[in-house]
Amino acid sequence: QLQFVESGGGLVQPGGSLRLSCTASRFSIGDDAVTWFRQAPGQEREGVACIDGGSLWKNYADSVKGRFTISRDNPANMVYLQMNNLKPEDTAVYYCASRILGSNFACPPITSPASAFNYWGQGTQVTVSS
């Protein structure tokens, strides 16, 4: 189901930065956990970062740890992904997603498959190239 809207993607040089935004137009995210995924051509969709409903717990994939930061602004109905020191291998379509709506405060493991998530956006393209 398409419930989220992602924005902020684009073309950036290696070493550059982008900030992705995720919001929901049909509902309030509230205190639901949100996970950022990414998918490159020919690759499985993989979890990148998750933030729980109260910003008490954040999980990151090893490949982005120390470079990406997930955050949220619940009153603004927004979730963000700050991406620094971008590498060509970060090139992918980035999605935000939730497993369920409501009663979803805690993050699942970052290795959870995309099939476990029922609510998605259409994604935003991030291309890292010189």
* Mean pLDDT across the chain: 96
Q: With bands split at pLDDT 50, 70 and 90, how would you rate the model's confidence at 60?
A: very high
The predicted structure's pLDDT at residue 73: 96
**Which of left, alpha, beta for 99 (phi over 0: left; psi -120 to 50: alpha)?**
alpha
Q: Can you tell me the mean pLDDT for 79-90?
A: 98
CA distance 126 to 2: 20
Digit-coded pLDDT (tens) for 17-47: 999 999 998 889 999 999 999 999 999 999 9
Residue 118 has pLDDT above 90, yes or no: yes
Widest distance between CA atoms in the chain? 43
CB atoms within 10 A of CB 11: 12
Q: With bands split at pLDDT 50, 70 and 90, how would you rate the model's confidence at 119?
A: very high
Q: Can you tell me the mean pLDDT for 65-91?
A: 97
DSSP the chain: -EEEEEE--EEE-TT--EEEEEEESSS--TT--EEEEEE-TTS--EEEEEE-TTSS-EEE-TTTTTTEEEEEEGGGTEEEEEE-S--GGG-EEEEEEESSSSS--SPPPTT--GGG--EEE--EEEEE--
The predicted structure's pLDDT at residue 2: 79
